[in-house]
Amino acid sequence: MGKVDYSKYAKLSPFELKDNLIELAQSRTDRMMLNAGRGNPNFLATIPRRAFFQLGLFSATESEFSFSYMPEGLGGFPRPVGLQSRFDNFILENRDKPGVVFLGKAVSYVRDQLGLDPDLFLLEMVEGILGCNYPVPDRMLRVSETIIKEYVLREMGVQGMQKRDLDLFAVEGGTAAMAYIFNSLKENKIIKNGDRIAIGSPIFTPYLEIPKLNDYQLEEVLIAADPKLDWQYPESELRKLEDPSIKAFFLVNPSNPPSVKMSDEGLAILADIVKKRPDLIILTDDVYGTFADNFKSLFAICPDNTILVYSFSKYFGATGWRLGVIALSNNNVLDKQIANLSKKEKKELEERYSSLTTDPASIKFIDRLVADSRNVALNHTAGLSTPQQVQMVLFALFNMMDSRQSYKKAVKSVVRERDAALYRQLGVEVPTDPNAVDYYTLVNLENTSRTLYGDEFADWVMKNKNPTELLFRVADETGVVLLPGSGFGVQHPSARASLANLNEYQYAAIGDSLRRFADEAYAEYLKTKKGK
């Protein structure tokens, strides 16, 4: 590869830089491109998908019963009378099919363990998978919301909260949740142009980019995790949140890309800060929480101050399904802040939402999120598509019904074995940390150089090697795509590799490639020493 000026790529988002790296990695046909730059898993949950498709077949037949005298291909709404009996017959006739067996167990679990009405559940699932009605309620289907509440409370480590004290909004994945939340915070005058917000870094890049847009023009205060503390936030960094000028704290937990959950000590410090700052808003994106051992969300620690975002995409291998939820407690700080707005601001908001109800001031923030997601005027057609909600419910039930947690153990094992393969070939010890999730790994250029060939070599590398150039060389010469840690707010030169989307031998190949570059750099370093 000829001499290239890599400085022009410095301001690109790592996800845009990725396209340039992929182009290089694909430039030769005599090798396979290994793209470890994106976190799309190559594993997925099959049983709840089988159940979805089998339920779809049953539901289509149910629909055709309504207009059975009409020509083939025309159906109507499913009939609730006798639905459970016909479903039981369907289960018996197809009991050799794994998805059908799961459906039968799911109805039993919903009835016997969750205490819900099985007839209402089944009708909601059948109508939902047919997609024959608008989502009603638009925020989330009733039985579905109750089931997902149970799942969220369990997986997020929330103790003592009743489902009735929690509201969910089903959304098109975590990315839609981010867009909706930022927009509604501004529309409801909770954050304004020029406000200061804290961001836990390193972090998923859009959290760094969105606040800078003209739409928001927010001032960012970084709360920096320390690699020397296994990527935990030092207390001195968290204590920045005691500054009353900081309106909100946005973070991903477990983090992206360090891939560690916040420690119990960090959670305790944040809980103490919230006692002093009851007005502080926290937005926690917990998409990787289901990969962690004994995970506890910030929502479990300070629920009234926290907006929880959870996506089903990574754990269930469902990025294409676009499934997520926004969770808020009924006693949340956002509703309180709206109630404390000035008369002028309240009047403006009442006008904004006046088409929805005769008492717009009483609309909760989470319902404002729903309305704002459709520019208020289209609120009557808001909501996540009902087939998506059905798949979400089947994913959640699959996890809750797995008493041995076999699927969870399997996916955790997959990513951790890949991590071990990469570092084994690189020739350094696998980082160990009880808070690690291992969905991603950050290969620290300086630390790796120091471990392999000593302090002097590491110092030489830091002075003479451009980390971005290294990523381009790796892509060009080996076909391996990694992303720069700097694009996620990482302060030291590093490469981020997703451990979710390639196979174990391919991660070994990545480790081998990185080791070869280290060896070449060391040979170059020895030549410079001899020349002195």
pLDDT reported for residue 39: 84
Residue 330, SS3?
coil
- Residue of 209, 216, 210 whose CA lies nearest to 190: 216
Range of the structural domain that residue 22 is part of = 5-31+404-529
pLDDT reported for residue 472: 78
390 and 244 in one domain? Answer: yes
Among 131, 165, 187, the domain boundary falls at: 131
411 and 525 in one domain? Answer: yes
Residue 486 counted as domain residue: yes
List the pLDDT tens digit at each of the 532 positions of the chain.
445 555 555 556 665 666 777 777 787 777 677 777 778 999 999 999 999 999 999 999 999 988 777 777 889 999 999 999 999 999 999 999 999 999 999 999 999 999 999 999 999 999 999 999 999 999 999 999 999 999 999 999 999 999 999 999 999 999 999 999 999 999 999 999 999 999 999 888 888 889 998 889 999 999 999 988 999 999 999 999 999 999 999 999 999 888 999 999 999 999 999 999 999 999 999 999 999 999 999 999 999 999 999 999 999 999 999 999 999 999 999 999 999 999 999 999 999 999 999 999 999 999 999 999 999 999 999 999 999 999 999 999 999 999 999 999 999 999 999 999 999 999 999 888 999 999 999 888 888 999 999 999 999 988 888 777 777 777 777 777 887 766 555 556 678 889 999 999 989 988 998 898 899 999 999 998 876 6
CATH number of the domain at 440, please.
3.90.1150.10
- Nearest-angstrom CA–CA distance, 466 and 57: 56
Strand partners, 46: none
375 and 268 in one domain? Answer: yes
Residue 36 counted as domain residue: no
247 and 190 in one domain? Answer: yes
389 and 324 in one domain? Answer: yes
Residue 277 counted as domain residue: yes
282 and 350 in one domain? Answer: yes
85 and 26 in one domain? Answer: no
Residue 37 counted as domain residue: no
pLDDT reported for residue 63: 94
> What letters, b where the CB count within 10 A reaches 16 and e where it falls short, cover 36-53?
bbebebebebebbbbbbe
51 and 151 in one domain? Answer: no
Among 367, 398, 429, the domain boundary falls at: 398
Among 383, 398, 413, the domain boundary falls at: 398
pLDDT reported for residue 532: 61
- Residue of 370, 336, 371, 366 whose CA lies nearest to 353: 371
Residue 335 counted as domain residue: yes
Q: How far is CA 171 from CA 175, 178, 307, 324, 368, in A?
A: 9, 10, 14, 5, 14
Indicate the number of domains in the chain: 3
- Nearest-angstrom CA–CA distance, 281 and 333: 7
443 and 362 in one domain? Answer: no
pTM above 0.85, yes or no: yes
CATH number of the domain at 314, please.
3.40.640.10
CATH number of the domain at 91, please.
1.10.20.110
458 and 435 in one domain? Answer: yes
Residue 38 counted as domain residue: no
**Do 49 and 396 contact (CB within 8 A), yes or no?**
no
pLDDT reported for residue 246: 97
φ, ψ at 79 (rounded to 5°): -95, 125
- Residue of 487, 379, 374 whose CA lies nearest to 440: 487
418 and 357 in one domain? Answer: no
Residue 109 counted as domain residue: yes
* Kind of pairing between the strands at 166-171 and 324-329: antiparallel
Residue 361 counted as domain residue: yes
